[in-house]
Structures are given as structure tokens and as C-alpha cells.
Structure 1
Amino acid sequence: VVDMRSLPVMRNLGYPVVFDATHSVQLPGGGGTVSSGQREFVAPLARAAAAAGCDGFFMEVHPRPEEALSDGPNMIRLSELRGLLAQLQAIWQVTGKGEISPLT
């Protein structure tokens, strides 16, 4: 379960937080005898994690995820990585890296 509220809580402990964007969409056993995944949700969850202040990202990438030996259904295509990283960087710049401020 991915709960974006936990990301700033972990950051407030004083350590860098890395978001595992591809395993966050993995469906263990979803393919019967193998894991499945929902790669279409990698980018939206990664963008949300960037806005919540994550310090880094882990993502499994492959030129052709459908041919990967494992975790293919939750991998993103290598050709999509540069664009996603640019989006994450832009979010960091806009949000001040997700710093939390009181709503008062």
C-alpha cells in the first residue's frame, strides 16, 4: 500500500527518503504463478511522491518491459525515463522539494 502521508513523516526523521515507484505498482501473484503490475500508475505515483518531498526514486526500466525476465509488468520503458525525470525535477522546483508548512 502506498500512502503519500508517510513520505514527509519519514523525511522529518532526518534521513533521505527514496520512493520505489515500480514496485509500488507491482501485483504479487497477479499473473497467476508470477507477479503482475500496473505500469500506467508509475508516473502518477512518482509525481505525487516528488510533491510529497521524496529525495530520490528507484525505478526498474527496460527497453522492452514485455520481454524482461522479471518484473516486466511494473517496469517503465527506457524511452519514457527522461521525460518522467524531467517532470519530477520540475515538481521539486515548484514545491521546494515538498517541504511541509502549517496551514495556519
Structure 2
Amino acid sequence: GCGACAKACPRHIIELRKKGPKGRRVYVQCVNHDKGAVAKKACSVACIGCGKCQKVCKFDAITIENNVAYIDFNKCRMCTKCVDECPTGALVKVNFPVKKKEE
């Protein structure tokens, strides 16, 4: 993208990031740099910088910078434990097969 949205955002919560690998990936929905309740008030799916995803990642693929989780796609093995651990729903899976409900 051109980056106009990131430049125009008055709260500076839109940022351009490198694309992950094509196909399956995990990404952060909201990059509000506020911490905790302040971030949550501004964005219902904000990363609150709690670090739970980082602690559960066995591949050291997640770092927390400015209260936001960053995923190193070179290290991430798409186990999605970080998605399961995230208390706000900030981390989401993209292009994963939909699990069918057992009957």
C-alpha cells in the first residue's frame, strides 16, 4: 500500500508491516500502542501488550514492542498457540482450513 492511511491516522494506530508468507498466517488485528485498558477502550480487539502470546510461543517468534505483539514470520511455525492464549482476540488466523463440527 501507499501508506496514506497510516500517515493520516490521528492516533497513529495504523502501520504498514511486512506481509507474512502467502497462505496461512497469524497477525495482530489492532496495533494501538496504548497499554491495557486504554488500548481496549480505543479498539475492542487491541493488543494490550500483556505478553501472554510471547510466553506461550516455543519458537521465539513474538516480541512485544510499544505494547504491541510483533510476529517474526521467519520463526513462526503456525502452531497458533498464541491465538488461543490471547485474552483480547487481537491475534487472528488467516487462511487456515475451517474445522468441521463433529456430528
For normalisation by structure 2, the TM-score amounts to 0.28
For normalisation by structure 1, the TM-score amounts to 0.28
